[in-house]
Amino acid sequence: MKKLIAAAGTVLLSLATASASAADVTLMLNWTPTADHSPIYYARAQGWYKNEGIDLSIETGRGSAATAQRVGSGGTQMGIADLPTAMQARGKGADLTAVMVIYANTPQGFYWLKSSGISGPKDFPGRKIGNPPGDAARLMWPAFAKNAGIEPGSVNFVNLSPQAKVAALKSKSVDIISDFYNEHDLKLKEFGDELGFAPWRSVGLNVYGNSIVVNREFLEKNKESVAKFVAVTQRAYEACVKTFDPCLQALMASVSGLNADNQRDQWERIKTLMRDDTTTKVALGAFDGGRVKADYELVGSLIGIDKAFDPATMFSNEYLDKKIRMTGQ
């Protein structure tokens, strides 16, 4: 009997030790899950995170600003947020840093109907732009306006949920909507030749987009777990670039209401957003320090950073697997 009790105690101790050693990690998305998040769902479905001792939970987000604030306050360990928005949050005291970039090129753009008389950003003054209040496009609007040569206060913003943007443009309750380039095909199908589009890149504004950010206190205490998380996530994005269907299936198994064809179209656009010299030559998900500094200076000069910090501390490539690189085409 004593031997049985001792054995049972050993088993319980082993289970407790295993549980304690596993890292419970919550990742808060920037918005609702779509194709750009599918690699994370795929890796979780394959058990890749669990195999590295990471018990991953995924939460829907309410915009980059909300996610950056939540991660920065320690309300969640990790999140996905637009990098300039995360910089603004850092200036307000959010304790976070970026460890992997998903969008090496900005996905941001503005859409309108040509019948409205708008031919480009110069025609935006006096118009209504529909987007969510926590959206990165609204926070970065002063930078876009400055580059486009118009007054930042010359437009009116209307609060819309992400799902309501297309309907609002169609009903003409707003004149313009902001949205990510990965959903470009959906709008083309809806509006055809009537669709007007101006990517931020068209006014010389190509800031880093969605990035994985980590609470810095959590990072200091869990460097090994963060490195494992990042390496698994890199591997997942690499796998989805090669073959998307398994990743799409994992996404749709976890998220209802998605259209498979739309998600495939999105992924083709996303791959172009993931690709630049750094992600193809250094590592998939790697930041270029010069670009991060330029983004910081842009945010500081056109929008403002409440409390200055060294932009070199805004990111780290330390946790990336340098053997994993984005494809060149």
Could you tell me the residue ranges of all domains in the chain?
A: 2-105+208-314, 108-203
- Amino acid letter, 51: N
Phi-psi bin for 315: left (phi > 0), alpha (psi -120 to 50), beta? Answer: beta
pLDDT, tens digit (0-9, with 9 covering 90-100), for 307-326: 999 999 999 999 999 999 99
180 phi/psi in degrees, rounded to 5? -80, 145
pLDDT, tens digit (0-9, with 9 covering 90-100), for 170-210: 999 999 999 989 889 999 999 999 999 999 989 999 999 99
Burial 212-233 (b: 16+ CB within 10 A, else e): bbbbbebbeebeebbbbbbbbb
Query: What integer best gives the mean pLDDT of the chain?
Result: 92
Provide the β-strand partners of residue 108: 180
> pTM above 0.75?
yes
Q: Residue 306: pLDDT band by 50, 70, 90 thresholds?
A: very high
Where is average pLDDT lowest: 10-14, 74-78, 129-133, 149-153?
Answer: 10-14
pLDDT, tens digit (0-9, with 9 covering 90-100), for 224-266: 999 999 999 999 999 999 999 999 999 999 999 999 999 999 9
- C-alpha 305/C-alpha 90 separation (Å) is 8
2-105+208-314 and 108-203 agree in CATH topology: yes
* Average pLDDT value for residue range 267-280: 96
- C-alpha 134/C-alpha 125 separation (Å) is 22
pLDDT score, position 268 = 96
* Average pLDDT value for residue range 110-126: 98
Q: Does residue 140 surpass a pLDDT of 90?
A: no
pLDDT score, position 194 = 98
pLDDT, tens digit (0-9, with 9 covering 90-100), for 68-110: 999 999 999 999 999 999 999 999 999 999 999 999 999 999 9
pLDDT score, position 22 = 61
How many other C-beta atoms can be found within 10 angstroms of the C-beta atom of residue 161?
13
Nearest to 285 by CA among 223, 200, 226, 199: 226
- Selecting from 3.30.70.360, 3.40.50.1000, 2.60.40.10, 3.40.190.10, what CATH number does the domain 2-105+208-314 have? 3.40.190.10
pLDDT, tens digit (0-9, with 9 covering 90-100), for 287-303: 999 999 999 999 998 78
Distances from the Cα of 263 to the Cα of 9, 41, 167, 268, angstroms: 50, 14, 19, 9
* Average pLDDT value for residue range 274-299: 97
pLDDT score, position 80 = 98
206 phi/psi in degrees, rounded to 5? -125, 75
pLDDT, tens digit (0-9, with 9 covering 90-100), for 6-52: 444 444 333 333 333 468 999 999 999 999 999 999 999 999 999 99
CATH superfamily, domain at 108-203? Periplasmic binding protein-like II (3.40.190.10)
Rg (CA), the chain: 21
